[in-house]
Amino acid sequence: MKSLEEYTLQLKNYHLQAYPDPYKPVEEYFTCQVSNMGSIMLPLLNGWYVHEGENLTTYPNGVLAGSLKAALDQHPNLVKPYLFSKNEDKDELVITNENNFTDGIFIYVPDNVKVEKPFQIVSLINSREDLLVQNRNVIHVGRNSELSVIQCDDSTRYGKTFINVVTDVTLDENARLQYYKTENKEAESVLLNHIRVNQDAGSFFHSNAITFNAGYVCNNILVNLNKPFAEAQLYGLYLVDKNQQCNNRIKISHNSPDCKSYQLYKGIMDDEAEAAFHGHVVVQPDAQRTNAYQTNRNILLTDKAKINTKPYLEIYADDVQCSHGATVGQLDDEALYYLRSRGIGERSARKLLMFAFANEICHHVEIQAFKDRLSDMVQRRLNGELTICDQCMLHNSDQSGLIFPIDPSKL
């Protein structure tokens, strides 16, 4: 299988779309089937924000949402500090994005505002060319404010795609952000997500990322707990098969005392799929009374499926409670025997155990309608029914040959 370095060497073969496509109502090619969610959609097509005239919306409560490019033009003093701030752990692809991004999403929530409806960022690819997409997203949640964001990565018509996205999140004092992400991409895609989070005192960040289909996916999350009593909870699930690859790399820096972090990532790998979990928790010398938990659990369905798991603690303080661990194995034989002894067939029993294993991640979603849809998608994925964009009713799609089920014969 190719490494990220091998994919990166081929960047010169991808085309960067310099201008947005002519406006067409997003409902003509995308319909979200999550009923009763009431989200505010922020669509991106081939790297550009889709709009008809109003590229940045100002809501009555002072919230700004829309095109990052428009926000940079209209509110440069508000946007520039995030775009040109100094961040650690910059790799070449992050620097490439910072220097060459086309557009992205800007969300600004002022102090003391609770945003009732979630914003839904939908990143779509609709191109026959081999496309390079470089989006930059900025999310700022003010003091004592609350926000939920759902980000979906999908495709309609496509050639090969190389998607390199950087998202900067700033949470002021006592701010709360629920950040949910789904990834359902075709086999020829490379999807890189770099998320950088800076948290002030008493702030709360919740992340939940689920990968249903992938060519090559890498989710890099960097969280800085900069002031006392900040908390981060990160959950993830990856369901990959064939030759798909999914990497999750997380670094949480406890830079201040009395902070908490929690990580739980789970994966199921079939065929010759590969996955990686690299979790790194750093506790700085002044970060006394840190509480950090980190675990990764995996099920391999074949001898050729692979997982590289490395939970890692780096502690320089004395008064801490930290733990980490990883498990790699197959389905529990005793649990399987118990279900079969109750008259459940082997295939159904294996399916039930796999669903119970995976669905734990969906339980940590607070938007009920979205939680129900995710559980349904997980069940269908494990049942071999979920294909690229199936849940999103994308029209004019050429989806022939793009079924990536986990082999039902192994259920």
pLDDT, position 404 = 33
What pLDDT, in 10s, does the model give residues 374-411? 998 898 888 865 444 444 433 333 333 333 334 434 44
Determine the pLDDT at residue 216: 92
Q: Which residues contact 280 (CB under 8 A, 6 or more apart)?
A: 250, 251, 252, 312, 314
pLDDT, residue 400, reads: 33
Chain-centroid distance of CA 134 in Å reads 16
pLDDT in tens, 38-83: 889 899 999 999 888 789 999 999 999 999 999 999 999 999 988 8
The alpha carbon of residue 181 and the mean position of all alpha carbons in its chain are separated, in whole angstroms, by 4
Residue 159's pLDDT is what? 67
> What's the pLDDT at 155?
66
Specify burial of residue 198 (Cβ count, 10 A radius: 0-12, 13-18, 19+).
Answer: buried
What residues are paired with 114 via a beta bridge?
A: 146
pLDDT beneath 50, residues of the chain: 386-411
Q: What is the pLDDT of residue 6?
A: 76
Closest of 279, 266, 218, 294 to residue 382, by C-alpha: 266
Contact 173, 201 (CB under 8 A): yes
